[in-house]
Structure 1
Amino acid sequence: MIASMVTFCAPVAAQPSAFSFGVIARLDSASADAAWWRDMLHETDADSLAFVVANGIKAGTEPCTDKLYERRKSMLEEAKNGVILSLTASDWSDCTTSQGKSAAIDRLGRMRDMFFTDDFSFGASKIPVLRQSTTPKFRSYGENARWEIGDVIFATINIPANNNHYVTDAGRNSEFEDRLIANRDWLKRVHLSATHRKLAGIVLFCDGNPLLAPDTTGFFNRRAKRDGFAETRKLIGEMAEKYPGKVLVIHGQGTPTTTAKGINWNKNLGDLNVGSDWLKLTVNAANPNLFVVNREPVEQKNASN
């Protein structure tokens, strides 16, 4: 039934006037076990949700092994709701080899092969999604997916919280630079689709908070490494300025001093920190902000990156 509510290009006669969806936080070091994650999936299954987005599948303290990936994939497949996976830094870009070297490229490739090869969500209630990998130029970027329900377009975008996986070592940023180009194209396509179809809202799911500007008040902060979110922040800001509807960024990146309690709006652009549990939002066209948080984020035990 839920799958019939989803559309890519043609209007559907019986669009839902209001519906709810869930977002599961990425595992932190204090809750890193399969039982916690399974409990979150079961709690969302018990609710009436159009879909669920899982913000990552593992904690940074867990191994980046195929075996763990396979176990978490099986749990996604057993869910009753349609579940879409949004990648986090702990899934791939924070991964290292037994020698302590980065395994980010290898693990990202493995995640893509295991989790993003078809055009549907996980779970019993299959949600059809359109992946960026259908564009030949960006055939590797299957993790970037979009779908529509009602008057809103939803999209995942691979923006890890560890400064968008910008590497300070010279000559080692080809992954970052290539993904930056892909993400720019993806955001433009999402914006174009929402504008062309006159949708009321855009929701972006990612790990890092691209709207969070770095602290440059101190001497050492001014000399810090490049802001890996700068280009994406600028693009999302420009997108929101041109878009008549609401743009909401749902992310998993906290800071040592702030944890979002509800949506932080700046005109029509909002951001929401998932916290360390799961949250529920309702899309309601009768609400001036379009989005209502029904289940508030639980404060993160540990700040993310």
Structure 2
Amino acid sequence: MMPSARRRRMLPGAAMALSVAMVMPLAMAAAAPQAALPAARGFQFAIIGHPLQRGRDETTLKRAIADAAQTDPAFVVATGIKSASEPCSDKLYAQRQALLNESPQPMIVSLAGSDWSGCVNSAGRSNAIERLNRLRELFYVDGDSLGARRIAVTRLSSSAKFRSYAENAHWEVGKVLFATINLPANNNHFRAEAGRNSEFEDRLVANRAWLHRLFTLAARQKMHALVLFSDGDPGVTAEEGFSLLTSFRTKQDGFAETRKQIRTLAEKYKGKVLLIDAQAPAHGASGEPAIQWRDNVGHLHMAADWAEVRVAPGAATLFTIKGGSAEAQAQ
């Protein structure tokens, strides 16, 4: 009886000692300085600046794909697949799709106006809408990029209301949201002819919803930046009152609404907004890649055959551009 009674008398003390032993490491851990969280990893992506549009041949495009692959980018974006002088044929479309699909890295195709909006049929009439639909069938058949190694993308066509707009896609790398948006360079394919400008107006509605979705997602996920790829330059970083109209005969600036929307949404967004287009700099400026900033909105003309963009989340300089011998830093 005595051993059992002694054991019972010792249990409360033993329990207290055990509790202290368990609590002390926790208290010591709380008092110790917290280890720094690992910084977000940097990465790089590549842009092919539509060399075909500047009178180059397919060999240049092949070389740009191979050179871009050497930097081991997270992905590559090709800004256009054909020049305006090349035929808008199924044969050429399929040939370029096969070529871009051979990329060792994930390949994203951002359509250019020269790919579809300037196409005409044998009677000389525009068949831009039919050609755009054909490109969608060839290049955007599922939720993946092209390339030997692919990444998943989310397409605007996943929304039933905008199921035709598969060319608009977004994806995420390292807390940066990337997206393509169909803005052809020839005044956003606004046509001044009489009657309803159906393709332009319908795409304007789709792009409006797309931009709202992108900025909402970027804000909700606390993305460091939103990067948009397009063919045309909507003039977001230009001075107030700037117009992209190239002729007094043009009655409407086809980029006006998109420009206003991006500026409005960017003012409320805490991260960076970078727009990358395939147009050459105006007024004979250097073709070397460089970002021009207006507040938190940056703009990059991709006139070079290709360029590498390095991304350093958390660093003072988020984007660093390298293209050929040129190197420029941006915010």
Shared fold (TM-score greater than 0.5)? yes
Q: What is the one-letter code of the residue matched to 1:267? A: D
Shift of 1:291: 1.1
Q: What is the one-letter code of the residue matched to 1:20? A: Q
Shift of 1:189: 0.4
Partner of 2:313: 285
Q: What is the one-letter code of the residue matched to 2:313? A: A
Is the counterpart of residue 275 in structure 1 residue 299 in structure 2?
no
Shift of 1:223: 6.2
Structure 1 contact 27–57 (Cα < 8 Å) conserved = no
Shift of 1:122: 0.5
Listed one character per residue, the Cα deviations across residues 110-139 of structure 1 (whole Å, up to 9, x for unaligned) are 001111110111111111000000000000
Aligned mate of 2:291, from 263, 270, 289: 263
Is the counterpart of residue 159 in structure 1 residue 183 in structure 2?
yes
List gaps (5 residues or longer) in structure 2.
1-36, 327-331
Distance (whole Å) between structure 1 residues aligned to residue 325 and residue 297 of structure 2: 19
Is the counterpart of residue 26 in structure 1 residue 50 in structure 2?
yes
Alignment coverage as a number of residue pairs: 283
Distance (whole Å) between structure 2 residues aligned to residue 271 and residue 168 of structure 1: 28
Distance (whole Å) between structure 2 residues aligned to residue 49 and residue 59 of structure 1: 25
The 3-state SS of whatever aligns with 2:300 is strand
Q: Label 1:198 to 1:35 Cα distance change in 2 as closer, same or farther (>3 A).
A: same
Q: Label 1:184 to 1:289 Cα distance change in 2 as closer, same or farther (>3 A).
A: farther
Partner of 2:98: 74
Larger Rg: 2
Distance (whole Å) between structure 2 residues aligned to residue 265 and residue 67 of structure 1: 41
Listed one character per residue, the Cα deviations across residues 140-194 of structure 1 (whole Å, up to 9, x for unaligned) are 0000000000110000000000000000101141000000000000000000000
Shift of 1:221: 5.7
Partner of 2:66: 42
Structure 1 contact 133–140 (Cα < 8 Å) conserved = yes
Is the counterpart of residue 122 in structure 1 residue 146 in structure 2?
yes
Distance (whole Å) between structure 1 residues aligned to residue 56 and residue 123 of structure 2: 23
**Within 5 Å, which residues of 2 pair with 1:1-305?**
17-211=41-235, 213-214=242-243, 224-254=250-280, 256-257=282-283, 258=285, 261-295=289-323
Q: Report the TM-score when normalising by structure 1.
A: 0.87
Shift of 1:34: 1.8
Partner of 1:7: none
Structure 1 contact 32–58 (Cα < 8 Å) conserved = no
Structure 1 contact 203–250 (Cα < 8 Å) conserved = yes
Q: Label 1:48 to 1:164 Cα distance change in 2 as closer, same or farther (>3 A).
A: same
Partner of 2:28: none
Structure 1 contact 251–274 (Cα < 8 Å) conserved = yes
Structure 1 contact 158–206 (Cα < 8 Å) conserved = yes
List gaps (5 residues or longer) in structure 1.
1-12, 299-305
Q: What is the one-letter code of the residue matched to 2:185? A: A
Structure 2 contact 68–307 (Cα < 8 Å) conserved = no
Identity of aligned residues (%): 45
Distance (whole Å) between structure 1 residues aligned to residue 53 and residue 73 of structure 2: 28
Q: What is the one-letter code of the residue matched to 1:114? A: L
Shift of 1:214: 1.8
CA RMSD in angstroms comes to 2.1
Q: What is the one-letter code of the residue matched to 2:297? A: L
Q: Report the TM-score when normalising by structure 2.
A: 0.81
The more displaced of 289-298 and 127-136 is 289-298
Shift of 1:17: 1.6
The 3-state SS of whatever aligns with 1:281 is strand
More helix by share: 2
The more displaced of 94-103 and 74-83 is 94-103
Distance (whole Å) between structure 2 residues aligned to residue 271 and residue 225 of structure 1: 26
Structure 1 contact 159–208 (Cα < 8 Å) conserved = yes
Distance (whole Å) between structure 2 residues aligned to residue 174 and residue 46 of structure 1: 43
Structure 1 contact 275–297 (Cα < 8 Å) conserved = no
The 3-state SS of whatever aligns with 1:133 is helix
Listed one character per residue, the Cα deviations across residues 83-117 of structure 1 (whole Å, up to 9, x for unaligned) are 00000001100111222211201100100111111
Distance (whole Å) between structure 2 residues aligned to residue 287 and residue 14 of structure 1: 13
Distance (whole Å) between structure 2 residues aligned to residue 228 and residue 199 of structure 1: 29
